[in-house]
Amino acid sequence: MKNGKDLADFAIDYGASRGASYIEARVVASRNESYAARNGVILGGGITYSNGIAIRVLANGGMGFCSTASLTKTGIENGIEEAIKLAKASKRKIPITFSEEEVVQTKWKSPVKIKFEEISIEEKQNFLIDLDKVLNKEFRFKLPTRTLLLDLYSDQKYIVTNEGSKVESENSIISAHTFNTAKGKAGGEQRMLSLGGTGGWEWIEEENVVERILEDNISLVKAARNAIEKDINQIDVVVSGEVAGIMAHENVGHPSEADRILGREGAQAGESFYIDLLENERLGEIKMGSEQVTIIDDPTQKGNSGFYLYDDECVKARPRYLIKNGMLNELFLNREYASRYNTQSNAAARAVAYTREPIIRMANTYFAPGDFTFEELIDDVKQGIYMKSFTEWNIDDRRFQSKYVGLEVYLIENGEVTDTMIRRPVLELTTYGILGSVDGVSKDFSSPHGYCGKGEPQQAAPVWLGGPHVRLKNIKLGGGNK
Amino acid sequence: MTETSDLLKFGINVAQDEKINEILAQRTKGKGYQIRFSNSMIDNSKIWSNDNIELFLAKGKKSTYLEIEAPTQAKIRSRIKDASKFLERLPESFLYNGMESNQHKYEKLDGIYDPKILDFSDKAPELVNAAIQTSLESGAKKVAGVLYFGYSKTELSTSYGNEGSFLGSYYRFTIRSFVDPDSSGQGLACSRSLSGVESEFLKAGNNAGEIAKMANGGTQGSPGKYDVLMSPTVAANVLGQVFDGLNPIKIMVGMSPLKYEHIGKQIASEEFTVTDNALLAEGLGSRPFDVEGTPKGKTPIFSEGILKGLLQNTSTSKMDKVENSGNSTFFDFGIGSKFLAPGPSNIAINGGDYTLEEIIAESKKPTIYITSNWYTRFTNMTEGIFSTIPRDGMFLIENGEIKEPVRRLRLSDNLLRICSNISAIGKNVKQIYWWEVQTPTFTPTIKVKDCTITAATQ
């Protein structure tokens, strides 16, 4: 890292001397150890190291970016020259500018008790092999196809800008994934489960990972064996933190990204329906849903998979209140888009590797807990469903029309969750359809791990997406695709 | 000897000294560029200097993969020594059954490298701005998109003495035009060669603008049963989910709608003939050999609707007791370590007899014409139950004519049913590669009867 830091400092001086009005260098040294197992047999494992530098410049109002793993002064000089040349050649009518932000020189790291390197390779493989034994013992032929993955990522990063900011960080993310198929009467059900967070090897035990995976597979097997087709129409729907989390992420998080709203992702991840809303009204004045809806993104929450204290533009992170009591409150901003809105960045710039530019990303988006207990949410439901997990989901590229297909779903009758499981009910709802129908939010909370896809080239950013139980009143279920 | 072959041989020697008996070493060195644009202006121009060696090491049935960026002898020695220790402690895998052990000479593949690529960065921004202008002139109010281009030299050396190299160049251009936030159209162009690149950009820009204009004034469509006309962009994505499933490993883990019992059976319409073709001059996935050093060629996938077989590498072909199709790739599940598994090169769907206009004119039943799509996801991958979301211009065809633009619908159906319900195939085949299609796919427009279209209920 020492050589990389020196070169990053060199890059800043060199870029400034070559006419860049802004230059930022980011050195990243990462280690990724991973294993895959199928039905208890390790399919593959490996450790990959990556070490390189990314440089971003503004020149004549255009932006240029270069990256290389060849950490030499000549390589960096050539990269900067070419990035500046291309930035100038873009001939923008409106120059790119960055918001003014506080200059910082600081360090942060995610808390780790046991580093991945301290654990033997055998113990890591045995985690997957033993986990598979637990699943096989419990389910046998009911869960015939089991794919288990373990991913251990850590990095050291140094970011420096010509404005004087310098941020060093160390991060460590651990995640376990299962992709399993359960056999049942009507065919089978499949489930991709991801659990993860920032931390070290201690996470496995502290987060009861084996128990949580077992519990999830009990649900999967139950759904495959017991769920029945049932013609239900206009009902109340209570969703778990997992389902509320994906809704918070897809229906609220993504449309709140300022780069989408102002069109930068137009040809890739798309724009945002907020563009229409913000044409005539201002933040704080736009009703998005019922008063019970508050949606927050907080990168600083300890343990979350998107944890950071300073973003990749050296801006201090803080919670972002996207929707507050039903009203549109805040957008995700980096320095470029904060400048467009004539405000300050709220530290949403993230890059997943040194080969990628920092762009606006979520970190840890969730429905804020409310006042109800789970039982109170159910008490008021005459007929409804309790959707505990989901399989298929998607949403249009303006983030308005979404679909969530239930996996573990129970019928609610007269204020009680029954044992009757419903097969693959479909919530095909607009964002307003979801947020406007919320009439109760519970006190409890859960946050699954996930990867958020955005950018070009794609940047799969680790995130949490969670929430409490949320009740949606009077929902018409959508059509299936059997 | 080149610097690269020296480094690859050095790596193989170091690994052999570590008693590793099967080794693949592949170096890719080159430069990649990207110009991103939106709001009719260039947002960012990127340059990637790439130089990496990928190594696959096997000792008996134990194997591991590693990647070394900016390789030097010192790095190679140290990483291989670490990997050797790691390998010792890995268990054996039933999935690994050896690599290509026969010796081969490789034919030069013409058309996959255009030396004009070396100077292309000088004029690329100007061409992008010209395409933006063309799209604006054809009616767009704003334009977004991306241009990728670059070149690389790939060299392979294996412990069985196979050695080969090739130069490759490419460009991939996506342009999306907006008349208003809800009315958009997309144009694509990609190739290995820069011949005619300027007119390809302008054509893509013009197409995008034309579709956006046609989409203007669209209204909420009605859910129901329709015939669906998939543009090449949509066909490449939707049918691409089937082609991705030609991998025996994906079948094994439940990530494919295909099953072994489908082989030799008619599971698609008779009009449907598909080949995996690694030798197409323009193909972005063309290469003379796979990562094991097996020569690549043409592999029939569907012949008149009959599934002819899966894609194979050495290990899976031994497991399945079939011929190796030369499709070995460094594969992962999106998360986790890479290993050897088959993957497609260029998928080529044979063109049919009809022009787009003829297909539209013959569409007497209500038909939805989808020009682009994204976000394809599955309820169950083995059953092929999926949905995908149309974006950009989408049109209702009635009585042989485009009646009106429609919006906010979802194609919610089953992949196997779609294969068997193909009712017409267009004449003009186009190579598709973009954000939502990562396997180069040569495909015409494809019509499918009786599809389920859904919409939000509230």
Q: Do B253 and A145 lie within an 8 Å CB cutoff?
A: yes
Q: List the structure tokens of A86.
A: 């291309």
Q: Which residues of B touch A35 (CB under 8 A)?
A: 336-337
pLDDT value at B73 more than 70: yes
CA distance B203 to B375: 26
Tell me what the mean pLDDT of segment A392-405 comes to: 97
Tell me what the mean pLDDT of segment B273-278 comes to: 98
pLDDT band, very low/low/confident/very high, at B3 (cuts 50, 70, 90): low
The residue assigned the tokens 């090491």 is: B57
Q: Do B374 and A270 lie within an 8 Å CB cutoff?
A: yes
Among A residues 190-209, those touching chain B with beta carbons less than 8 Å apart? 190
pLDDT value at B55 more than 90: yes
pLDDT value at A46 more than 50: yes
- Helices (H), ranges, B277-412: 314-320, 356-362
Tell me what the mean pLDDT of segment B72-96 comes to: 94
pLDDT for A44: 86
Whether residue B223 lies within 8 A of chain A, CB to CB, comes out as yes
CA distances to A48, B13, B292 from B155, rounded to whole Å, are: 21, 17, 12
Q: How many CB pairs under 8 A join A and B?
A: 292
Helices B3-17 and B73-88 sit at what angle, rounded to 10 degrees?
30
Q: Do B339 and A41 lie within an 8 Å CB cutoff?
A: no
Chain A interface disruption, residue of B228, B253, B315, B376, most A CBs within 10 A: B253
CA distances to A65, A92, A307, B120, B129 from A88, rounded to whole Å, are: 12, 8, 35, 16, 13
**What is the pLDDT of chain A when averaged over all its residues?**
96
Q: Do B223 and A397 lie within an 8 Å CB cutoff?
A: no
pLDDT value at B4 more than 70: no
In 3D space, the residue among B171, B283, B224, B33 whose CA is nearest the CA of residue A65 turns out to be B33
With contact defined as beta carbons under 8 Å apart, do B61 and B29 qualify? no
Q: How far is B224 from chain A (nearest CA, A)?
A: 9
Percent of chain A at pLDDT > 70 equals: 99
What pTM was computed for the model? Answer: 0.97
Among A residues 340-379, those touching chain B with beta carbons less than 8 Å apart? 355, 357
Tell me what the mean pLDDT of segment A149-164 comes to: 98
Whether residue B90 lies within 8 A of chain A, CB to CB, comes out as yes
Whether residue B72 lies within 8 A of chain A, CB to CB, comes out as no
pLDDT band, very low/low/confident/very high, at B94 (cuts 50, 70, 90): confident
Q: Which residues of B touch A264 (CB under 8 A)?
A: 36, 38-39, 43, 144
User: Does the ipTM exceed 0.90?
Assistant: yes
- For residue A56, give the chain B residue with the closest CA: B46
Q: Which residues of A touch B67 (CB under 8 A)?
A: 48, 50
Q: Which residues of A touch B252 (CB under 8 A)?
A: 38, 145
Contacts of B6 (CB under 8 A, 6+ apart): none
Whether residue B435 lies within 8 A of chain A, CB to CB, comes out as yes
pLDDT band, very low/low/confident/very high, at B160 (cuts 50, 70, 90): very high
pLDDT value at A83 more than 60: yes
The 3-state DSSP class for residue B200 equals: helix
A355: nearest CB among B44, B48, B458: B48
pLDDT band, very low/low/confident/very high, at B361 (cuts 50, 70, 90): very high
- For residue A59, give the chain B residue with the closest CA: B44
Percent of chain B at pLDDT > 70 equals: 99
Helices A121-139 and A209-226 sit at what angle, rounded to 10 degrees?
30
Q: Out of A414-423, B87-96, B239-248, pick the least confident.
A: B87-96
Q: How far is B105 from chain A (nearest CA, A)?
A: 30
Chain B interface disruption, residue of A116, A280, A396, A451, most B CBs within 10 A: A396
- Per residue in A196-239, pLDDT (tens digit) is 999 999 999 999 999 999 999 999 999 999 999 998 878 999 99
Cα angle at B434 between B295 and B185, to 5 degrees?
Answer: 150
Q: How far is B266 from chain A (nearest CA, A)?
A: 21
Q: How far is A293 from chain B (nearest CA, A)?
A: 18
Q: Which residues of B touch A190 (CB under 8 A)?
A: 254, 378-382
pLDDT band, very low/low/confident/very high, at A152 (cuts 50, 70, 90): very high
Cα angle at A267 between A266 and A268, to 5 degrees?
Answer: 95
Q: List the structure tokens of B404.
A: 């009106």
Rg of chain B over all Cα atoms, to the nearest angstrom: 23
Q: Pairing mode, if any, of strands A383-387 and B385-398? A: unpaired
Strand partners, B189: B173
- Per residue in A71-81, pLDDT (tens digit) is 999 999 999 99
pLDDT for B262: 98
SS3 of chain A: the string is CHHHHHHHHHHHHHHHHCCCCEEEEEEEEEEEEEEEEECCEEEEEEEEEEEEEEEEEEECCEEEEEEECCCCHHHHHHHHHHHHHHHHHCCCCCCCCCCCCCCCEEEEECCCCCCHHHCCHHHHHHHHHHHHHHHHHHHHHHCCEEEEEEEEEEEEEEEEECCCCEEEEEEEEEEEEEEEEEEECCEEEEEEEEEEEECCCCHHHHCCHHHHHHHHHHHHHHHHHHCECCCCCEEEEEECHHHHHHHHHHHHHHHHEHHHHCCCCCCCCCCCCHHHHHHHCCCCCCECCCCCCCEEECCCCCCCCCCCCECCCCCECCCEEEEECCEECCCECCHHHHHHCCCCCCCCEECCCCCCCCEECCCEEEECCCCECHHHHHHCCCEEEEECCEEEEEECCCCCEEEEEECCEEEEECCEEEEEEECCCEEEEEHHHHHCCEEEEECCCECCEEEEEECCCCEEEEEEEEECCEEEEEEECCCCCC
Tell me what the mean pLDDT of segment B40-60 comes to: 96
Quick one: A390 exposed, middle or buried, by C-beta within 10 A (0-12, 13-18, 19+)? buried
Write out the H or E segment, with its range, that includes residue B13.
helix B3-17
The 3-state DSSP class for residue B326 equals: coil
Q: Which residues of A196-228 are buried (b: 16+ CB within 10 A; e: fewer)?
A: bbbbbbebbeebebbeebbebbbbbbbbbbebe
Strand partners, A54: A26, A67
pLDDT value at A481 more than 50: no
CA distance A278 to B458: 22
Rg of chain A over all Cα atoms, to the nearest angstrom: 24
Q: Which residues of B touch A177 (CB under 8 A)?
A: 335-336
The 3-state DSSP class for residue B320 equals: helix
**What is the pLDDT of chain B when averaged over all its residues?**
96
- For residue B436, give the chain A residue with the closest CA: A268
Q: Which residues of A touch B383 (CB under 8 A)?
A: 187-188
The 3-state DSSP class for residue B86 equals: helix
Q: List the structure tokens of B443.
A: 């495909």
Q: Pairing mode, if any, of strands B22-38 and B41-59? A: antiparallel
Q: How far is B261 from chain A (nearest CA, A)?
A: 17
pLDDT band, very low/low/confident/very high, at B345 (cuts 50, 70, 90): very high
pLDDT value at B440 more than 70: yes
pLDDT value at A477 more than 70: yes
Instruction: Return the number of other C-beta atoms located less than 10 Å from residue B224's C-beta.
Output: 14
